[in-house]
Structure 1
Amino acid sequence: MSMELTKKQTETPPERAPRPTARRQSPTTTFFRTAIPLVLAIVALTLYSNSRNSAFLTTTNFDNILSQIAVLGILAAGQTFLIIGGQLDLSVGSMVSFVAVVAAKLFGASWSTPEVVVICLGLGTGVGLVFGVIVAFLRVPPFILTLGGLSVFASLALVLSNNSPVSVASGLETLGFGQFLGLRAPAVTLIVVLIVMGLLLHFTRFGRNVYALGSSPQASFLAGLPTKRLTVELFALNGLLTGLAGLVMMARLASGDPNSGQGLELSTIAVTVLGGAALAGGRGTMIGTFLGAMVFGTVNASLTFLQVAGAYQSLVSGGILIFAVVATAAADLRSAQVRTRAGFAAALRSQVSRFVSRRPPAEAQPAPPGGSGP
């Protein structure tokens, strides 16, 4: 009996040890950890500014803030796609200036509104396509490429406008000064762009592929995703939104100012990172980007209502960018440490379980004296 028992125990395979698994934060948890502080910051700034000036917390001022951040928010929507996909574009500010000057020149030459819109959107999309092809097929770092584009388009805007704003007698007045549903046209344009881009990012296969590309380009390629084509599409989409932002800028100012987009490239990155996007790629939301833009708009409006000198606005913007990058890096470091500790604990439990399951069976006990013999 004991011999059969021993044989059964020997033949029975040990239980499979559990794989070491690391604890992962759900996207919902990550989003709320980013969104809640931004909402609290907006509320706190609003209440403080309203306590100093009761005209701050009004519908008119809210409309003004949305109109002021319209160009920034449209650019940030395109930058969100790029950063989630592991890319970057530093030329968006100078492209806005260039598109605005081109649009003003075309209106001055008596081109029709549809023709100007098509040309400017096509110009932005074409530049994005060129950047995307160079990055995808020649593997040029997007930081260096678009930094060069920043200088090129800033210079072209100055040359084309003779270093002075190009006034527009008539053209896109509705986009700049129209009213829809009680909001100004730039604010409505921003909301529509954010909704469309949010649906594209979060509810389509294209959006899921963008997240996969930013998380791991090599794994995406091995999984069969067209990584090069996806990179080109990301830059083309960003170029299209840049062209639209240039038209909105020209319509709001009623002129093509060659310096109107100066500094927007850094502000768009700050807004996107502040909204929860990771510069390493693979993370970000369109709602977070909108909240980041609202923080910028609320801060600038607060400084204006509190009669703070305009020179401090760049200081605040730079401080927000530094804070966003440091906070994101700290959160990533903490998540990595949690995953490392969880993985070590799981591996230790696996080794202990494997050791216990592989212990040799106990030896058979001798028969008691006086038992039946053979």
Structure 2
Amino acid sequence: MSVLRRMLSGEQLRVFLPLIAAVVGLAWYTEYHRDNFVAWTNLENILLQTSVLGIVAVGQTFLIATGELDLSVGTFAGFSAVLAATQVVDGRSEFISVVVVLIVGAVVGAVWGVVVTALRVPSFILTLGGLSVFQSLALVRAKNSPVPVRGYFEWLRTGDVLGLRTPIILLIAVTVAASLVLRYTRFGRQVYATGSSEEVAYLAGLPTARVKIVAYVISSVLAAIGGLVLMARIGSGDPRSGGGLELRAIAAVVLGGASLAGGRGSAMGTVLGVFVLGVVQAALTFLDVNDSWSDSVFGGVLIVAVLLTAISDLQRGSNARPNALTALFQRRRTPETRSSSTAPTSET
């Protein structure tokens, strides 16, 4: 209970309550006009539909918290789906296929991180190019058509643990693990400090380059896992299946209270943002709203979220960053740290 109270206090509480209120209000309105919207079968379907987006968005949270982003995660998820599908079709075991996909994800993330930190290449431009590269590689690997995997990865598609489907279990596990890492580990504090002010964090002795590289690795590995879930759910490795996933992931992270400038964000907030988007989409379907309005509603929700975040920052005087750095310095005021941080002391 004390852990839950700490995770739902202060800044996070101000973010979570409006999201929860939005979900409850929209669910009540839809249920009032159409029955069975809040039935467990429908809620489970919403969780299944958003599981891939949630897993990818949690990975994007690490990057955005450091002040970076990755626009290639959507097409990389599609490429991962194709890679796993072609592996099993070629006769390799499911285990080997999963391992290969995860290794490729780690390598891709490491490459992005090294290029961004060592060469100072803007992540927006770099990963925008990666978006096109992975889309092309997926099409080439799949020979421009989906690769069926019927009979494979049944444990990932229809598996059941304690009454919950495997994709939902994976989403919960990823969210809990990411929340614990960001909230209670040294690496998590370094992520926020790097995003708050990379220069100050570097002068404080933090390995900012390594933090960003690890964040890219985490994001790419989770995108690969999302691709595996996507492949299992649709029953094929579709090279076009991940299109647009990156923008919705960024939207969910921002909706969950993160700042694109870095220094703020949480896995739980991100998943709540994902669930809001899922509930909105499901409500539009239940209410028989024309599909043409879907993108408009999605864009409107994102605009409102950005505006509310900006207004909140103005009201607080943008105190979040100094607070994060102050906490960091307080944690690092040990004899060993003081002896190695004379440079930043003289600077201030």
Tell me which interval the TM-score lies in, with the shorter structure as reference length.
0.7 to 0.9
Q: How does 1:68-87 map to 2 (within 5 A)?
A: 68-87=49-68
2:191 corresponds to which of 194, 205, 210? 210
User: For 1:257 and 1:272, how far apart are their aligned partners in 2?
Assistant: 25
1:93 is matched with: 74
198 and 178 in structure 1: CA distance in 2 versus 1, 3 angstrom threshold: same
For residue 134 of structure 2, the aligned residue among 144, 153, 168 is 153
Question: Is the CA contact 1:46–1:57 (under 8 Å) kept in the aligned structure 2?
Answer: yes
Matching residue within 132, 154, 157 for 1:176: 157
Q: Map of 1:201-350 to 2, 5 A cutoff? A: 201-336=182-317
- Which residue, 96, 106, 110 being the options, matches 1:129? 110
Work out the CA distance in 2 between the residues paired with 1:105 and 1:272.
32
The residue number in structure 2 matching 1:54 is 35
Shift of 1:279: 0.7
Tell me which stretches of 4 or more aligned residues in structure 1 moved more than 6 Å.
none
CA distance in 2, matches of 1:151, 1:337: 36
SS of residue matched to 2:317: helix
Q: Is the 8 A contact 1:122 1:243 kept in 2?
A: no
1:334 Cα offset (Å): 2.9
With 163-172 and 38-47 compared, the bigger mean Cα shift is at: 163-172
TM-score of the superposition, structure 1-length normalised? 0.81
The CA distance in 2 between the partners of 1:182 and 1:64, in whole Å, is: 13
1:69 counterpart SS class:
helix
Shift of 1:143: 0.7
Confirm whether residue 28 of structure 1 aligns to residue 2 of structure 2.
no
Distance 2:144 2:296 in 1: 26
Provide the rounded CA distance (Å) in 1 between the counterparts of 2:67 and 2:319: 24
1:89 partner letter: D
The residue aligned with 1:164 is 145
Alpha-carbon displacement from aligned partner over 1:237-265 (angstroms, at most 9, x marks no partner): 11111111110000111101111111111
User: Which residue type is aligned with residue 149 of structure 1?
Assistant: G
Give 2:308's aligned amino acid: A
Q: Which has the larger radius of gyration?
A: 1
SS in 2 for 1:268: helix
CA displacement, residues 180-215 of structure 1 (integer Å, 9 cap, x when unaligned): 111111111111110111111111111011011111
Q: Flag structure 1 segments of 5+ consecutive residues without an equivalent.
A: 1-26, 340-374
TM-score (norm 2): 0.87
Q: Which runs of 5+ in 2 are unaligned?
A: 1-7, 321-348
The answer (yes or no) to whether the contact 1:107–1:170 under 8 Å persists in 2 is no
Q: Point out the more displaced range, 274-283 or 317-326.
A: 317-326
1:64/1:338 CA distance change after superposition, 3 Å: closer
CA deviation string 1:119-139 (max 9, x = no partner): 011111111110000001111
How far residue 337 of structure 1 moved from its aligned partner, in angstroms, is: 7.8
- Is the counterpart of residue 104 in structure 1 residue 92 in structure 2? no
Q: 1:338 to 1:293 in 2, by over 3 A?
A: closer
Cα distance in 2 between the residues matched to 1:52 and 1:183: 28
Deviation of 1:111 after TM superposition, in Å, equals 0.9
- 1:350 match: none
Equivalent in 120, 125, 143 of residue 101 of structure 2 = 120
Asked if 2 retains the 8 angstrom alpha-carbon contact of 1:108 and 1:169, the reply is no
Percent identical? 50
Q: Give the aligned partner of residue 10 of structure 1.
A: none
Q: Distance in 2 between matches of 1:170 and 1:130?
A: 34
Q: Alpha-carbon deviations, 1:146-195, whole Å to 9, x = none?
A: 11111111111122222221111322111111121111111111111101
- Judged with a 3 Å threshold, the aligned counterparts in structure 2 of structure 1 residues 311 and 260 are, in CA distance, closer, same or farther, namely farther
Q: CA deviation at 1:338?
A: 8.9
Distance between the aligned counterparts of 1:36 and 1:60, measured in 2?
A: 25
Residue 268 of structure 1 aligns with an amino acid whose one-letter code is A
Number of residue equivalences = 314
Alignment of 1:175-194 (within 5 A): 175-194=156-175
Determine helix, strand or coil for the equivalent of 2:9: helix
